[in-house]
């Protein structure tokens, strides 16, 4: 563990985690999350264009014209925005040489499940109408957005038109909350208070089945699945959401790469510029994305 990660972990454990644990209403902190996103580093020459169709295009440096990363932001389905992710996604674009398309999907405070999932499908269809073929698109996301990306992936696999590849950072894949790490890591996780998970699930799903694959891709089907990269922390309460997701995907014949790091906070990749582990993980992701395109061009 780097000294930077140790310092960030200390502040998250004693400042952010207690704040999240005592929130009166988890659906009322979206504005605070956007304010915290101002701390995320941005690369030079960042370009961000938000369009009326709900898609935000983010890039930095030279990018190829024939490919795109479709990325869904995290925030437990109650917070977050493409604009707040401009810095980390700009860095991912610069490292991979591919532009990022970040959709604005409806949060639970605006519209309950399955609104976010339908918005994810709509974003995919929009890219298709813009001329991107499935093999031109890589899907990604973090936390709740990682679960959303994998739920969309299941739909596309079942329809026989999967993307080029997919990746997820600490994805939330099981809203039934059956992972052992929720309890094994409840003290070790420096950021997420497990005591609020049930409340967030109820806010997002309402009376919908918790194992609906559109909300919990751990229970989805993935025939003909493309290569997948999963990155997660060994000490996270969501650790087993990734581990079991990897096993599920391999059961359908997918090639899955797991990057499991000790002593890192939830979705540490967003802290590029602050944590050396974040830059290393983004570089690994960029290499995975680039490699997925090179694999079929040889």
Angle among Cα 265, 274, 75 to the nearest 5 degrees reads: 45
Residue 39, judged by CB atoms within 10 A of its CB (0-12, 13-18, 19+), counts as exposed
Alpha helices in the chain (DSSP H): 3-11, 17-21, 30-36, 86-96, 115-129, 144-158, 181-184, 197-205, 239-251, 276-294
**Pick the catalytic residue: 154, 170, 236, 292?**
236
State the virtual CA torsion across 284, 154, 103, 115 in degrees, nearest 10.
-150
Tokens at 224, concatenated:
């003909």
**Pick the catalytic residue: 59, 93, 143, 154?**
143
Question: Is 99 tagged catalytic?
Answer: no
Question: Is 11 tagged catalytic?
Answer: no
CA 294/CA 195 separation, integer angstroms: 44
* Tokens 């925005």 belong to residue: 81
How distant, in Å, are the alpha carbons of 3, 18, 238, 279 from that of 260? 19, 25, 12, 15
**Pick the catalytic residue: 5, 93, 216, 266?**
266
* Tokens 């580093």 belong to residue: 41
CA 21/CA 194 separation, integer angstroms: 8
Question: Is 266 tagged catalytic?
Answer: yes
Which region holds residue 25: left if phi is over 0, alpha if psi is between -120 and 50, else beta? beta
Which are the catalytic amino acids? 143, 236, 266
């Amino acid at each position: 563990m780097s000294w930077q990660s140790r310092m960030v972990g200390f502040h998250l454990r004693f400042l952010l985690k207690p704040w999240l644990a005592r929130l009166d209403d988890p659906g009322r902190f979206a504005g605070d999350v956007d304010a915290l996103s101002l701390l995320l580093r941005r690369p030079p020459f960042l370009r961000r264009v938000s369009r009326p169709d709900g898609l935000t295009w983010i890039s930095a440096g030279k990018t190829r014209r024939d490919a795109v990363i479709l990325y869904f932001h995290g925030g437990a389905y109650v917070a977050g925005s493409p604009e707040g992710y401009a810095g980390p996604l700009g860095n991912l674009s610069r490292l991979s040489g591919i532009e990022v398309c970040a959709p604005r999907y409806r949060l639970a405070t605006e519209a309950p499940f399955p609104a976010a999932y339908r918005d994810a499908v709509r974003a995919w269809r929009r890219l298709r109408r813009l001329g991107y073929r499935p093999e031109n698109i890589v899907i990604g996301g973090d936390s709740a957005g990682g679960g959303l990306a994998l739920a969309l992936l299941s739909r596309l696999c079942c329809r026989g038109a999967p993307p080029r590849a997919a990746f997820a950072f600490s994805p939330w894949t099981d809203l039934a909350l059956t992972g052992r790490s929720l309890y094994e890591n409840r003290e070790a996780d420096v950021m997420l208070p497990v005591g609020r998970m049930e409340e967030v699930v109820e806010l997002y799903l309402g009376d919908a089945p918790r194992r609906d694959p559109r909300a919990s891709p751990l229970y989805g089907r993935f025939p003909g699945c493309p290569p997948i990269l999963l990155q997660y922390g060994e000490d996270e309460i969501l650790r087993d959401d990734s581990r079991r997701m990897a096993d599920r995907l391999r059961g359908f014949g997918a090639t899955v790469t797991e990057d499991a790091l000790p002593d890192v906070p939830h979705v540490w990749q967003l802290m590029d510029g602050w944590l050396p582990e974040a830059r290393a993980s983004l570089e690994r992701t960029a290499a995975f994305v680039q490699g997925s395109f090179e694999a079929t061009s040889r």
